[in-house]
Amino acid sequence: MLRFFYYAVAPAVLPVKTMKQLLAEPRPVRAAGVAVGFVGLLYALTSAVMALAGAVPLATALLPIPPENYYFWQTLFVLPWTALAGALAYGALRLAAGGRKEKDGPAAVRTAAAAGAALAGSLFVAWVPAALTALFLALGMGQQELVDILSEPGGAQVVYLGLYALAAAAAVVLFVLAARQGKAKNATRLKTTVR
């Protein structure tokens, strides 16, 4: 089984079991980091498809990027931003755990691995509606037609917005679970070397 795929998807479905399996890995930080990178790659590929389809953002972008080139630039920057999000998630969980000084200790390893799994799982759930949008655009649906379908109250709008709400809920649950893993004193014994 492809571990990186498993650790990207499974935290959203089986969070407790997945965190325990991840922490039992010989290199849990690497496994979680590759899962985060995998989800970042999914976003990059989805952004490339949307750029090729000529899509523009459905909402106003925060950065002053021309809408016609938005997905092109997102394709280039989504991987570094995903890595930065992983580092920020780890830092936030370390602060929440009391910011212990043991940089390479078991608590730091548990926190880093759990933060990566939490980020990968929640980003994967948020990727699903983006992937569906890219799929419809790649199959020839026009952006205006897509906007019309998603703007009308109904089943499509409920599913689309529901997936993003599910991603937000998954992020809360997964990061609370990850914070608990970082604080656990009797968690699975891990090698203190982060590889």
Taking the C-alpha atoms of residue 11 and residue 14, their distance in angstroms, rounded to an integer, is 5
pLDDT at position 37 over 60: yes
More confident residue, 11 or 60: 11
Per-residue pLDDT at 132 exceeds 80: yes
At 66-76, the pLDDT tens digits run 888 888 988 99
pLDDT in tens, 139-170: 888 888 888 888 888 888 888 888 889 888 88
Rank 6-15, 31-40, 63-72 by mean pLDDT and report only the highest.
Answer: 31-40
Query: What per-residue confidence (pLDDT) applies to 103?
Result: 56
Rounded to 5 degrees, what are φ and ψ at 25? -65, 150
Report DSSP letters for the chain, one per residue: --HHHHHHHHHHHSHHHHHHHHHTSSSHHHHHHHHHHHHHHHHHHHHHHHHHTT---SS--SS---GGGHHHHHHHHHHHHHHHHHHHHHHHHHHHTT--S-SSSHHHHHHHHHHHHHHHHHHHHHHHHHHHHHHHHHTT--HHHHHHHHHSSSHHHHHHHHHHHHHHHHHHHHHHHHHHHHH-SSS----S---
- In tens, the pLDDT along 91-118 reads 887 776 665 555 556 767 777 888 888 8
pLDDT in tens, 39-69: 999 999 999 999 998 888 877 667 788 888 8
What was the pLDDT predicted at 171? 86
Q: Is 50 exceeded by the pLDDT of residue 187?
A: no
Q: Which of 17-26, 103-112, 186-195 has the lowest mean pLDDT?
A: 186-195
